[in-house]
């Protein structure tokens, strides 16, 4: 996942992406430059294979003329030294010969707001069904997501008001421009489609400044009780968004009394 200005924790180590620092037991280690950036790439993709070609694209731009093989090998050696991670029996960095590397240890990620808190806008879900009644169902889902997120009362997350978000219905503007106009760091956008008694809803979380997609998912449901479906999906989508931004899951509301 792309960096959201986060702290990554693994084993006895902590990596602050904003300060570009690696610490062990709160003591800063002397690691910087390409080795540190390579560690960030591996940690972001923990558990996945990061190919040597992906490393080249991320850390050595095309117009940079270097001996890539020696450069990446040297960076990995520096990382192993900093992490006390032997190549023969690694705890953190696994080497996949002629392919790439994989970060083995579990990683905890905690997002850090750049200015004390994140500002999020939930944009109206787009109707793809051609059913003129569908926009109202999409608005209900948008309201559910905003309500679930707003109920957090989190000091690290602010949600743009519904009236401001609705002003961008069908607006032919990129998320980056909407973010600038509303002062939003992130945007949630999605689509609704109904075919017979089947519903398909897609939702995605986008970082406003560069329009990078941080999370996306689709949901298939039977139409049934539309209000119940709205409530269920509103909580599910809000929970995913909260998790992506480093917060705890959103608990379902208690059942009504009586």
Q: Which domain holds residue 155?
A: 118-244
Q: In the structure, what pLDDT confidence band is assigned to residue 104 with cuts at 50, 70 and 90?
A: very high
CA 176 to chain centroid: 16
Please tell me the pTM assigned to this model: 0.53
pLDDT digit string, tens, across residues 225-239 = 777 888 888 888 888
pLDDT digit string, tens, across residues 44-69 = 899 999 998 888 887 776 555 567 78
103 and 156 share a domain?
no
| Residue 27 maps to a domain | yes
CATH code for the domain in which residue 95 is found = 1.10.10.10
Q: In the structure, what pLDDT confidence band is assigned to residue 250 with cuts at 50, 70 and 90?
A: very low
| Residue 26 maps to a domain | yes
Nearest Cα to 233, choosing from 203, 206, 256? 203
Residue range 91-120: mean pLDDT, rounded: 83
| Residue 258 maps to a domain | no
Residue range 152-177: mean pLDDT, rounded: 80
Question: What's residue 96's pLDDT?
Answer: 93
Domain count, the chain: 2
141 and 98 share a domain?
no
CA dihedral angle for residue 59, residue 65, residue 66, residue 67, rounded to 10 degrees: 120
144 and 238 share a domain?
yes
- What is the C-alpha to C-alpha distance for residues 222 and 68, in angstroms, rounded to an integer? 52
């Amino acid at each position: 996942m792309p960096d959201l200005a986060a702290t990554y924790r693994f084993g006895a180590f902590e990596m602050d992406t904003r300060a570009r620092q690696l610490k062990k037991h709160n003591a800063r280690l002397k690691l910087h430059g390409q080795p540190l950036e390579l560690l960030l790439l591996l940690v972001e993709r923990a558990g996945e294979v990061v190919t040597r070609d992906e490393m080249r694209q991320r850390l050595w731009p095309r117009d940079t003329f270097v001996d890539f093989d020696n450069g990446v090998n040297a960076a990995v050696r520096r990382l192993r030294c900093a992490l006390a991670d032997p190549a023969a029996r690694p705890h953190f960095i696994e080497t996949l010969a002629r392919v790439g590397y994989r970060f083995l240890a579990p990683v905890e990620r905690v997002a850090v707001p750049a200015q004390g808190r994140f500002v999020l806008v939930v944009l109206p879900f787009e109707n793809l069904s051609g059913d003129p009644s569908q926009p109202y169902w999409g608005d209900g889902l948008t309201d559910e997501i905003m309500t679930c997120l707003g109920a957090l009362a989190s000091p690290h997350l602010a949600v743009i008001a519904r009236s401001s978000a609705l002003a961008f219905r069908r607006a032919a503007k990129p998320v980056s421009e909407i973010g600038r106009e509303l002062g939003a760091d992130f945007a949630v956008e999605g689509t609704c489609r109904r075919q017979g008694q089947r519903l398909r809803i897609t939702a995605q979380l986008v970082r406003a400044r560069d329009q990078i997609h941080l999370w996306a998912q689709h949901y298939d449901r039977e139409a049934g009780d539309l209000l119940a479906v709205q409530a269920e999906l509103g909580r599910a989508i809000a929970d995913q968004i909260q998790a992506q931004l480093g917060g705890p899951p959103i608990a379902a509301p208690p059942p009504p009394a009586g």
